[in-house]
Amino acid sequence: MMKKLLIRIIILFVPLSGWATPVFDDFFTDEVLRYDYLLTGNHTSVAVIPCEIKKEKMWSGSHNTLIDNRNLGTYRFRVYDNKSGELIFSKGFSPLFQEWQTTAEAKVIDKAFYQVIRFPFPKNIIRLKIEKRNYDGQFSEIYSTNINPENYFINNENTKHISVEKILISGEPSHKIDIAILAEGYTEDEMEKFVKDSKRLTDSLFVVAPFSQMKEYFNVYTLKTPSVESGTDIPGEHIYRNSLFNSTFYTFDISRYLTTSDMKTIHDMAAAVPYDQIIILVNSSRYGGGGFYNSVTVCTTDHLLSSKVFAHEFGHGFGGLGDEYYTSEVAYDNYYNLKVEPWEPNLTTLVDFSSKWKDMVDVTTPVPTPRDGKYASKVGAFEGGGYISKGMFSPRENCRMKSNETSEFCQVCQKAIKEAIIENTK
C-alpha cells in the first residue's frame, strides 16, 4: 500500500511539460519563420553557416501535430521555448548534402549546400537546434542558436507575385497536405503545357494506393515559374539550359539523377501559396528524378515512365521511403550501417525487425524470404535493398520503390504513407 502511494506521489510531481503536447496558440502565430543556412563539410565533417531569417505569410502545417514522433530523416531540427526549455516543434528531413557526403568526391574536397527549414513563427524567443543522424543511428547536435522574433533583421519583405492555378482543393491548409508544384525549364510560352503536365502527373498519383484512397487529404497548387530556356542541364552531354532552379542531370555523375540545390529560389517562389511539400516538374523527355524527405521532389514530365518516377520520388519526399533496388548504379559508399536498423520504414537489416514490419509477415512466410516468385504476393523480408544486395532487406519481391515493373506501393510502403498523411493533417 505504501509503495502504491509513493508511486502516485511521484507521478503528481513529474513535470507535466514532459508529457503535454504543445498548444499552438501558446507559442506560435499563423505566419512562418524561415531559416536559411549552408550545410558545409566533407566526408567526415559537417557545419552550419547561417544565411538569412525570413518571415513569411502562411503557415499551412498542422496546428495539432507539432512534435515529429516518426523519427525519420538523416537530419532533424528542434525548436524549444527559450524561457521554459519546452520542446515546441520538431521535424525530420533529408538533405542532398548527406548523400554527397558518402560519395568519393566528399573524400577529397569540401562543399556547401543551401538549406531551408520552416516552422510556425514564434511569439517569444526560441532555441533552434539542428541535429544530424550519425552512422550508429543516433542524433547529435551540430548547431544551436537563439532567435528573437522581435529582431528587426528578420526579413519581412513581400512575397513575389506568381500566377497560381489550384488543381485540387480539399479544405483548409492546416488540415491538408499542401503541395506546391513549380515549373522548371518551362518558358513563359510553355505555361499551358506545365499546367497540363501537372494535372496529368497529379492524376496519375491519385490512382495509386494509398493516395487513391486519401485524395481528400490533399491540396495541390501549380505555380507558373518561367525559365529563360526550355529544359535542364545534361552535363555529360554538354547540354546547359538557363532554367530558374538550376536543375541538372548527372548529379554525383549519375546520368539519371536529376536534382536542384537552389533551395533559396525554390522557397522564394513556393511562398506564394501555403505549402508542406514542394515538387519541381522539369520540362524534359529524359528519364530521371530525385526525392528528398521533407525537402523537395524533382521529376521530368515527358518520359514514358514519368508517372512511375513521379510516384517513386514522392515516396521519398513525402513518405520518407527508401530505395529498394540494389543492382542500379549509384555513387554512394557505405551508405548504410548494417549493424543498426535504417530509419526508412521500408528497409531493415533484421537487427531489430520487430520495430519494422515483422507483425505484417504471415507465420507461413520464411524470414529471410526467398526471391524465387513463390512469395511474390506476400510481405516478407527479401534480401536486397538500399543499393546493396546483402544484409539489407525489403518488404516485397517488387514495389514502386524498387522498380518500374509495378505501379503499386507494397503494403509496408502504403502503411508508412498513410501514417504520414494522417499525422500531418490532424
CA distance 57 to 53: 14
Amino acid at 347: L
In angstroms, what is the C-alpha Rg of the chain?
22
Under the banding of pLDDT at 50, 70 and 90, the label for residue 343 is: very high
3-class DSSP assignment, residue 331? coil
| Partners of 385 in the β-ladder | 388
What is the rounded average pLDDT of the residues 372-381?
96
Q: What is the pLDDT of residue 328?
A: 81
Single pTM value for the model:
0.94
For residue 200, give every residue at least 6 positions away whose Cβ sits within 8 Å of its Cβ, in sequence order, or none: 301, 307
The CA distance from 291 to 344, in Å, is: 14
Q: Is the peptide bond before 370 cis (omega within 30 degrees of 0)?
A: no
E-assigned strand segments in 82-206: 87-93, 111-122, 126-133, 139-147, 163-168, 177-184
pLDDT in tens, 227-259: 999 999 999 999 999 999 999 999 999 999 999
Do residues 92 and 71 lie in contact, with contact meaning Cβ atoms separated by under 8 Å?
yes
The pLDDT value given to residue 4: 40
Among 226, 201, 374, residue whose Cα is nearest residue 300:
201
* Confidence check: pLDDT of 137 > 80: yes
CB atoms within 10 A of CB 20: 9
- C-alpha cell, 109: 574536397
* DSSP H or E segment with residue 194: helix 191-205
C-alpha cell at 354: 520487430
Residues 64-117: tens digit of each pLDDT: 999 999 999 999 999 999 999 999 999 999 999 999 999 999 999 999 999 999
Phi, psi of 348 (to 5 degrees): -150, 145
* Mean pLDDT (the chain, rounded): 94
**How much is the pLDDT for 17?**
39
Please answer whether residues 243 and 227 qualify as being in contact, where contact means their C-beta atoms are separated by less than 8 angstroms.
yes
Q: Which CATH superfamily is domain 163-317 in?
A: Collagenase (Catalytic Domain) (3.40.390.10)
Quote the DSSP letter at residue 185. Answer: S
On the question of a cis peptide bond just before residue 366, with omega within 30 degrees of 0, the verdict is no
DSSP 235: G
Q: Which helix (H) or strand (E) holds 150?
A: none
Residue 104 CB: number of other CB atoms within 10 A? 12
Q: What is the DSSP letter of 239?
A: B
Share of the chain above pLDDT 70, in %: 96
pLDDT score at 180: 98
Q: Tell me what percent of the residues of the chain surpass a pLDDT of 90.
A: 93
Domain ranges (residues) in the chain: 20-147, 163-317
pLDDT tier, 331 (very low <50, low <70, confident <90, very high otherwise): confident
Average of per-residue pLDDT across 176-191 = 98
Please state the separation of Cα 154 from the chain's center in Å.
Answer: 26
How confident is the model over 252-281, as a mean pLDDT? 97
Question: Which has the closest alpha carbon to 250: 273, 226, 233, 228?
Answer: 233
Q: What is the pLDDT of residue 333?
A: 78
User: What mean pLDDT comes out for the span 315-342?
Assistant: 92
Using alpha carbons, select from 329, 355, 326, 328 the residue that is nearest to residue 340: 355
Cα→Cα distances 163→252, 268, 273, 300, 309, Å: 34, 14, 10, 21, 27
Beta strands 388-394 and 382-385: pairing type?
antiparallel
Distance, CA of 409 to CA of 156 (rounded, Å): 42
The answer, yes or no, to whether residue 307 has pLDDT greater than 90, is yes
* Residue 346: per-residue pLDDT: 98
Q: Which fold has domain 20-147?
A: Immunoglobulin-like (2.60.40)
Cα 329 to Cα 316: distance, rounded to the nearest angstrom = 18
Query: In 3D, which of 79, 214, 202 has the Cα closest to residue 149?
Result: 79
Amino acid at 257: Y
Whether pLDDT at 166 is above 60: yes
Say which amino acid occupies 272: A
